[in-house]
A and B are shown apart, each in its own frame.
Chain A
């Protein structure tokens, strides 16, 4: 100021004039921006340019609309592979099932490219010995069951999830004729009750596993188990295309909050590269990419050997072309766009979702980076996940570590399309094992890092809870 006063006449005047114009401009821009931010509708383009306008039961199964014709052909080839039901070899069509398996096709568990049902046939159980009781490293080799049948098991962790003798790391409770399944799995549900802040009662259920080995004995008590519901598969290419740096940045920003919410990356075995890389897929982010995720699902879930996980003698029941096609398919499934953008309850629910800190982990806006598949590269997306592992508390813990994920940690589930769940698969459940019958229940199961957010929801007014749920249903 002093210098201004000392300066002769016109200069300060000119400066003041420019400053005033700049001020007016910046205020205008600021007002415009603020106005925009306050009034801008939420983006319906949940998957960027891969978004489709489809709120039907087929909403998870659409090809991304920005594929070229040649890419669409490849997507369709992958779609056929995804739908194919395998049968016991020899067979004229779709030979390759088993000998041990959980189900006979991709789509049988990922119904309509979404999740599975919390019932036998869809649910599967991962098992391992406690860390320290380690068997030799196991990275996709052939595993022999007690009956002498060879079973390839893929993508299992190094060291901290040692395979169980005669069971490996996944219980295939189905087998082709003449082969004994690894075990019989029975799931029953235990009920408990709770009350909302306003006194309204609610019920929660959790699974009880009753696993019987072929010899009639129960599963030994020291074996760690983890019940899993098949997760949706659409939009996964976009998640593959999120730069690792963005995930690191999210983890860093969460750590700076100092409020107990702090995610971390998993580092998992990449079978092709033969090294540890960042994990993204699977409920504990224990798979690094969709190629490996699909190859592992073929061999682990259906007993179908493939180029990444072949038989001991190198034989494969599907070829590289098929594996590549199905990988492309899962990379290029569209994301359904949001609905009810102008609904006041939905708008209110979104605000409450953010205020309750849900959006710290269920991150609403991310950008994909470069990717060999152009359609999913450099997209502004709204997945509502950070792809990071979080401690979700004892209530949800499976107690079974997986690479760097502890027994308490789970990868944040993407929430895009969650509102279509009951249209795609009525009566299905939520969370890693399908225990939650409603979205309310799934929130109420949150604990650990999400305990405070859960409590915020639990103690909300009834109308606010309804608004938050309506927001989720509109995703």
Chain B
């Protein structure tokens, strides 16, 4: 999926230089010729594959680990709430959900690899909640066990179902609202959630199901024998595309859709009224990829930013500045987004944030990408 953004047309990239090369050298050398489309600086500066290795080591793996820790904390606070429902224990579980959510939303740019294929993303973050089936399940006497929960449909578990139980409609959950069966299910959901989050982190850091750690698969892009990422370019393109798609989704879907349809029910975290915070975390996640760091975990490596600063210092400053402007624009939207989309006076601030985020996307896609992804 790639929503608003328009990919590079390969023909624009390759056709002209290929034709030229064809005329000049009998179509012998397309690799050299295609580089002529990039500015001279990019040809001279060598893209350091350390950037790919640091991307996984300083951003992806720590972000997933951080999320797994927060997921585990969420499960524990749910246990405490279920054991003794009170305003305090509920608030603690709600706060843990928000923290886990912030960690997760920062991983949005790199939801590829086992995150998708082994079903972790679906089990953790499917939207919307199947409220009809969920209510029927709670009214029923169907057995609720760890096994039955792990096999439950994705729309009946994960972030948003836990959110539904912890926050209720429009964040109106009272500590004693939930029936015993609701609490029983919530607790099982918390444990399943933490378990899946751990598996996800492990799949990248150590490998699961007999497969190698995915950080190795990605971190060795372009090395002999790597069939998944046979070129360094494929790896850098993965980094870039992840940022582009996430920023695109944030601007045009997460902000754009509820506003365009004036429908808070289209907001992603509508039970907790946390959608705007989700979006801020998404933006932070994209910035983490660009800078090669995870401030929340104090990790840092050689980011794309370092390379761009070498080949085009002005562009690096522009990207950083645009990230800053986008973050500031989100601060201008009055919380919560779920209310703001219905308020005509807030529409301007939402649209301004959309534009600011889309501007980051555009700069990365149009200016940064050609410098690091050469055909």
Binding site for B on A (CB under 8 A): 35-36, 39-41, 44-45, 49, 51-58, 61-63, 65-66, 72, 76, 79-80, 82-83, 85, 87-94, 97, 104, 107-108, 111-113, 117, 121, 174, 176-178, 334, 337, 339-342, 419, 422-423, 425-428, 469, 473-474
* Interface residues as binary, B106-122 with A (CB distance below 8 Å gives 1, 0 otherwise): 00000011101111001
CA distance A94 to B130 in the complex (A): 10
- The 0/1 profile, CB within 8 Å of A marked 1, for residues 223-246 of chain B is 000011111011001101110010
User: Can you report 8 residue pairs joining A to B where beta carbons are below 8 Å apart?
Assistant: A41-B28, A54-B237, A55-B237, A56-B237, A61-B2, A87-B129, A334-B7, A340-B230
Residues of B within 8 A of A (CB-CB), count:
66
Contact B1 A339 (CB under 8 A): no
> Could you tell me if A51 and B153 are in contact, using CB atoms closer than 8 angstroms?
no
CB proximity of A458 to chain B, nearest CB, Å: 20
Q: Are B136 and A178 in contact (CB under 8 A)?
A: yes
Given known pairs A52-B8, A426-B214, the reply for A177 and B233 (CB within 8 Å) is no
CA gap between A63 and B8 in the complex, in Å = 10
Whether B174 is near chain A, meaning CB under 8 Å from some CB there, is no
Q: Please, which residue of chain A has its CB at the minimum distance from the CB of B156?
A: A177
* Cβ-defined contact, A65 with B6, below 8 A: yes
- Enumerate chain B interface residues (CB-CB to A < 8 A): 1-4, 6-15, 18, 22, 26-31, 112-114, 116-119, 122, 126-133, 136-137, 140, 153-155, 209, 211, 214, 217, 227-231, 233-234, 237-238, 240-242, 245, 253, 265-266, 373, 375
Chain A residues, CB < 8 A from B241: 54, 56-58
In the complex, are the beta carbons of A35 and B26 less than 8 A apart?
yes
Bound form: Cα–Cα A337–B34 in Å: 14
B264 (CB) vs chain A CBs: closest residue: A92
CA distance A384 to B228 in the complex (A): 20
Inter-chain contacts of A66 with B (CB < 8 A): 9
Closest residue of chain A to B265 (Cβ to Cβ) is A92
How far apart are the CA atoms of A334 and B9 in the complex, in Å?
A: 10
Given contacts A44-B14, A65-B9, 7 further A-B contacts (CB under 8 A): A52-B7, A55-B229, A56-B240, A58-B238, A337-B10, A423-B228, A473-B230
**CA–CA, A85 and B229, complex, Å:** 30
- 3 smallest CB-CB distances across A and B, nearest first, come from A65-B9, A57-B112, A87-B130
With A177-B140, A423-B234 as known contacts, state yes or no: A54 contacts B211, CB within 8 Å.
no
Give Cα A57–Cα B18 distance, bound, in whole angstroms: 26
In-complex Cβ contact of B30 among A41, A58, A80, A111 (8 A) = A41
**Nearest chain B CB to A304 CB, angstrom units:** 14
Q: Are B117 and A340 in contact (CB under 8 A)?
A: no
Residues in A whose Cβ lies below 8 Å from that of B15: 45
Of the listed residues B11, B126, B231, B245, the one surrounded by the most CB atoms of chain A closer than 10 A to its CB is: B11
Q: Is B26's CB under 8 angstroms from A39's CB?
A: yes
Q: When the two chains form their complex, are residues B3 and A79 in contact, meaning their CB atoms are under 8 A apart?
A: yes
Provide the residues of chain A in CB contact with B12, threshold 8 Å: 65
A104–B129 CA distance with the chains assembled, in angstroms:
12
**In the complex the two chains form, is B130's CB within 8 Å of A97's CB?**
yes
> Which of B31, B118, B237, B266 interacts with A93 by CB under 8 Å?
B266
- Summarize A's interface: helix, strand, loop or mixed: loop
- Given A55-B233, A61-B2, A63-B6, A45:B11 Cβ within 8 A: yes
| A82–B27 CB distance below 8 A | no
B10 and A53 contacting across the interface, CB-CB below 8 Å: yes
Distance from A200 Cβ to chain B, minimum over Cβ atoms (Å): 17
Q: Which chain A positions have C-beta within 8 A of B3?
A: 76, 79-80
Q: Let me know if A341 and B137 touch, CB within 8 A.
A: no
Asked whether B237 lies within 8 Å of A82 as measured between CB atoms, the reply is: no
**Closest-CB distance, B364 to chain A (whole angstroms):** 14
Q: Verify A423–B26 contact, CB threshold 8 A.
A: no
- B228 and A104 form a contact (CB under 8 A): no
The residues of B that contact A83 with a CB separation of less than 8 Å are 1
Contact check, B228 vs A426: say whether CB atoms are below 8 A apart.
yes
- Known A45-B11, A54-B237, A65-B7; contact A341-B131, beta-carbon cutoff 8 A: no
- Write out the residue numbers on chain A whose beta carbons fall within 8 Å of the beta carbon of B130: 87-88, 91, 97
Q: Which residues of A contact B10 (CB under 8 A)?
A: 44-45, 51-53, 65, 337
CB distance from B258 to the nearest CB of A (A): 11
Q: Tell me the nearest residue of chain A to B140, going by C-beta.
A: A177
Q: Do A88 and B13 have beta carbons less than 8 Å apart?
A: no
**Which A residues lie within 8 Å of B137 (CB)?**
177
Contacts of A79 in B (CB 8 A): 1-3
Residues in chain A near residue B234, CB distance under 8 A: 55-56, 339, 423
Q: Select A104's contact among B28, B136, B155, beta carbons within 8 Å.
A: B155
Shortest CB-to-CB span from B199 to chain A, Å, is: 14
A342 to B137, alpha carbons, bound, how many Å? Answer: 58
B127 to chain A, nearest CB (A): 7
Q: Which residues of A contact B117 (CB under 8 A)?
A: 111, 117, 425-428
B263 → chain A closest CB, angstroms: 8
- A55 to B237 Cα, complex, angstroms: 7
Question: B122–A89 contact, CB under 8 A?
Answer: no
CA A103 to CA B18, docked complex, whole Å: 44
A53, B14: Cβ atoms closer than 8 Å: yes
Least distance between B302 CB and chain A CB atoms (Å): 20
Q: Which of A40, A117, A334 contacts B27 (CB 8 A)?
A: A40
Q: Is the CB of A52 within 8 A of B227?
A: no
Q: Which residues of B contact A113 (CB under 8 A)?
A: 1
